[in-house]
Structure 1
Amino acid sequence: MKKWAVAMAAVLLLFSGCSNKEKVKEPEKKHEVVDKVVEKEGQKQEDPYFFPLTGIRSKAAVDGRAVAVMVNNHPKARPQSGLNKADVVYEVLAEGDITRFLAVFQSEKPTNIGPVRSARDYYIELAKGLNALYIAHGWSEEAKEMLEGNYIDNLNGMVYDGTLFKRSSTRKAPHNSYITYDNILKGAEQKHYSMEKSPPAFKFYTEEESKNITGNDAKSVMITYSKSAISDSTYEYDSTLGKYKRFSGGEQTVDLDTKEPVLLDNIFIIEAVHQVIDSYGRRDIDLKSGGKGYLLQKGKVTEVEWKNKNGLIVPMKDGEEIRLVPGKTWVNVVPTNPGLQKSVSFNVN
C-alpha cells in the first residue's frame, strides 16, 4: 500500500507539472497572436497629424502659419520660383488678360519665391481667410489702404526693396523681384508677427478613399481667360503619377531653379463675378457669394458649387463640403461672363 501511494503521488505530480506548463504556454501563444495583430494594425494606422492645406500625414506636429505670396504670371516672369512647393495656388485675373498667382506655403518652405508682384484687394481677402502672412511687391490704391491700415500682417517690396526683397539681374522690372523664405521669417521677426497659428483645414479623403473617386472622365482640361490666350492654362492627368501636370503657353510649369514640375492632386475651377473698375483694367471680383465650379481629381471631373466658408473657398455638392485628395491644389477663378462652359473645355482621352 505504501508503494502504491508513492506511485500515485508521482503520477499526480507528473499531471500537475504538465498542467502548469500548459497554463504558461497558453498566455505565450495569446501574446504572440496579440503581437501579430498589433503589428498588422500598426501598418494600417495613419500618422496622428496632418497638414491643414494638403492633408498629408505627419508623425510630428504640423503647426505653423501659412505664407501667401503674390507671384507674377506674365510670360516674361516664367518659369517662376517656388510654385512647386505651394500647398495651394489661387490663379485670378489681375488687370487686362494677365492672371496672377497667390501661392500659399505651409507644409513646405521653398528657398526662393518669385517674381513677386503687386497686391490687389481680393487676393488680400483670400490670404486673410487663411490667416496667412501676406507678401507682395506693390499695390493698387484699394490694396494699399488695406495693407497700410494693418488689415492683414504683410511684407511689401515697396518698403523692403533691396533688403528683404532682392532684384534678379537676369530679368527686367517688374518681373525681377524675389524673396527667400529666410527673409520672410526675418521680416516677420522684425515686425513682431507671430508665425505659430496654423491656417484652417480643408477636408480630405483618406488615401484608400481617394482611389475610389467617381465622376466623368477628364484626362485634361484647358482654361481660357481671354482671346489673346496669354494666361490660358492646361492640366493633364498622368495616371502613372496619379497627379496633374500644368502647362502655360505650351510649356510645362516647372521651377526655375530646380526644374522640378508643378504636380497637383486637385484642380478646382470656379466662376465669380468680375467687374472692371478703372482704365487700367483692374477688377473687383466677388469671392464671397459662391457659384458654380468643377472639381478634377484622379482623372475625373465633378460639377460642384463653391462656397466661401469663413474666408476659405471650398467645393460643395448637395449642401455638403466635398473632400480633397491629399496633396496640392490649384484654384482657377474665371469670370461668370463668359462663364465656365465657354471658359473650360475637357478632353476625355
Structure 2
Amino acid sequence: MGGRGTVCKGSWTRRARRGATAGALLAAVVAGTLLAGCTTTGSDDDGQGQGSDRRDDRTGAPPAGSALAVKIDNVSAARPQTGLDAADIVYAEQVEGGLSRLMAVYATRFPEVVGPVRSARESDLELLRQFDEPTLAFSGAQSKLLPLIGRAPLHAKTPEDAGAAYFRGDDKPAPHNLYLRPGKLLDAPPGADALTTGFRYGPAPSGGTPEDSRTVRYPAARFTFTWSDDSRRWQVSMDGRPTVTTDDVRVAPATVVVQHVTVRPSQFRDFLGNNTPYTETVGSGRAEVLRDGKIFDADWERRTANDGTRFTTTEGEPMNFAEGQVWVVYTADRS
C-alpha cells in the first residue's frame, strides 16, 4: 500500500463539491423507503465548512482517482458478507438500537461482488470528506438526509441510478440481499493515492504491550480481534462468531485502530423512533493501535473534515501502521 516509514495516504487537494443528481436523489428516496426504512425526522444543516487545499505530499499533483466506499450491512441476518476481505479500510460505527454497520473503502483492488449493501447515515458524510470525491454505494437514505448527500463532495450511487451494478441475491431475505458489482460502477480501482486518510505505514514504534485479544462493545454488538502468529494478522469475530466471507476467507486485518470519539444523538430517527447516533470523526482524542501482536496507546487528531486523521504515540511520534488492511472501530469516549 505505501512505502515503509512514509506518509503514503495523506494527500491534500481541493475538491469541487459535486453532489448527487436530482434523479439520483429521487431514486435514493425510493431506495431509502423500500430498502432501508431507516429514519423519519432530521435536519438539513450539514454544519460542514470548506476545507483547505489538498495536494499530494510527494508530487504536488491531485490524486489519480477517487475511492469507492460501500455501506455494508452487519446484523446477523446479513452475514456472512461478501468482499469484505478485499477492502483497504473497514470502518465500524454504531447505529440505531446499539447495533453496528460497516463502511468498506476500496482503492487498490475491487472484488467481484460486495455486500450486502445498506443505507447511508449522516456521520458518513463527515467521514468521507477526507477522500477526494469518493463514490458512495448505498441502498438509499431517508428523505431529510438527501439534501446533505446532495451537497456533499461525493458521487452517490444507489440501485435506482446504477441498476446494472446492483443485484438481489437468493441467499438471504430482503433487505439483507442487495449486492454490488464494483466493476460495473467504476472502470478500475484508483490506486493507493486515493486513500487520503493521513495513515502512515512502516516499522512499529518501540514499546507496546503484548496483546492476544481485544474486544470493543456496543450496546447490542461487539467486535473481537484475536492475534494469529501464523498469519501475522488480527482475526475478526463479530458478536462472538468468526468473521468469514462467503468465499470462506477469514477476515483478518494487519492493523486495528480502536478510536475513542464523541457519539452523540443526531437529528434523525429510524422508523421505529430510535435515534440515529452521530459519530464525530473530526477533533482529537485517544486511541489504541493493534499491530504485530501488541497494543500501542496513541492519540488521534483530525483538524477539519477535509483532513485525514493523524495518529501519534503518546510521546508525540508518528504512529505507523502495518502494511495491509486496516480496521477502524469507533467507540464512544467514556473518559
Class of the TM-score when normalised by the shorter of the 2 chains: 0.7 to 0.9
1:286 paired to 2:280: yes
Once the two structures are TM-superposed, the CA of residue 143 in structure 1 deviates from its matched residue by: 3.6
Once the two structures are TM-superposed, the CA of residue 273 in structure 1 deviates from its matched residue by: 1.2
Task: Encode CA deviations 1:164-223: one digit per residue, 9 max, x unaligned.
Answer: 32111222222111111122216x9xxxxx958723252111xxx34x753111111111
**TM-score where L is the length of structure 2:** 0.73
In the alignment, which residue of structure 2 is the partner of 1:245?
A: 235
CA 1:80 to 1:322, structure 2 compared with 1: closer, same or farther past 3 Å?
same
In the alignment, which residue of structure 1 is the partner of 2:50?
A: none
In the alignment, which residue of structure 2 is the partner of 1:304?
A: 298
- Does the residue aligned with 1:84 lie in a helix, a strand or coil? helix
Task: Encode CA deviations 1:43-92: one digit per residue, 9 max, x unaligned.
Answer: xxx89x99749xxxxxxxx9543211100101100110111001110000
Which residue of 116, 124, 137 maps to 1:135? 137
Match runs of 1:60-79 below 5 Å: 63-79=64-80
Name the CA distance, whole Å, in 2 between partners of 1:203 and 1:165: 34
Name the CA distance, whole Å, in 2 between partners of 1:172 and 1:221: 32
Name the CA distance, whole Å, in 2 between partners of 1:175 and 1:83: 15
Of 102-111 and 150-159, more deviation after overlay is shown by 150-159
Contact 2:199 2:309 in 1 (8 A): no
Larger CA Rg, structure 1 vs 2:
1
Contact 2:117 2:178 in 1 (8 A): yes
Name the CA distance, whole Å, in 2 between partners of 1:176 and 1:64: 29
Name the CA distance, whole Å, in 2 between partners of 1:93 and 1:285: 8
1:199 paired to 2:195: yes
Name the CA distance, whole Å, in 1 between partners of 2:66 and 2:77: 31
1:332 paired to 2:329: yes
Alignment identity in percent?
22
The structure richer in helix per residue is 1
Once the two structures are TM-superposed, the CA of residue 284 in structure 1 deviates from its matched residue by: 2.0
Name the CA distance, whole Å, in 1 between partners of 2:153 and 2:64: 23
Once the two structures are TM-superposed, the CA of residue 320 in structure 1 deviates from its matched residue by: 3.7
Name the CA distance, whole Å, in 2 between partners of 1:182 and 1:235: 30
| Unmatched tracts of structure 2, length 5 or more | 11-62
In the alignment, which residue of structure 2 is the partner of 1:269?
A: 258
Name the CA distance, whole Å, in 1 between partners of 2:76 and 2:69: 21
Name the CA distance, whole Å, in 1 between partners of 2:262 and 2:309: 15
Q: What do you get for the CA RMSD once the two structures are aligned?
A: 2.7
- Does the residue aligned with 1:126 lie in a helix, a strand or coil? helix
Report how many aligned residue pairs link the two structures. 269
Q: Which amino acid aligns with 2:116?
A: P
Which residue of 208, 213, 216 maps to 1:220? 213
Once the two structures are TM-superposed, the CA of residue 266 in structure 1 deviates from its matched residue by: 0.7
**TM-score where L is the length of structure 1:** 0.70
CA 1:244 to 1:140, structure 2 compared with 1: closer, same or farther past 3 Å?
same
In the alignment, which residue of structure 1 is the partner of 2:156?
A: 154
Name the CA distance, whole Å, in 2 between partners of 1:79 and 1:170: 10
- Does the residue aligned with 2:309 lie in a helix, a strand or coil? strand
Name the CA distance, whole Å, in 2 between partners of 1:50 and 1:180: 31
In the alignment, which residue of structure 1 is the partner of 2:60?
A: none
Contact 1:233 1:246 in 2 (8 A): yes
Name the CA distance, whole Å, in 1 between partners of 2:322 and 2:206: 9
CA 1:149 to 1:280, structure 2 compared with 1: closer, same or farther past 3 Å?
same
Name the CA distance, whole Å, in 1 between partners of 2:144 and 2:295: 36
Name the CA distance, whole Å, in 2 between partners of 1:105 and 1:333: 19
CA 1:166 to 1:290, structure 2 compared with 1: closer, same or farther past 3 Å?
same
In the alignment, which residue of structure 1 is the partner of 2:33?
A: none
Name the CA distance, whole Å, in 2 between partners of 1:136 and 1:311: 23
Name the CA distance, whole Å, in 1 between partners of 2:152 and 2:278: 21
CA 1:150 to 1:241, structure 2 compared with 1: closer, same or farther past 3 Å?
closer
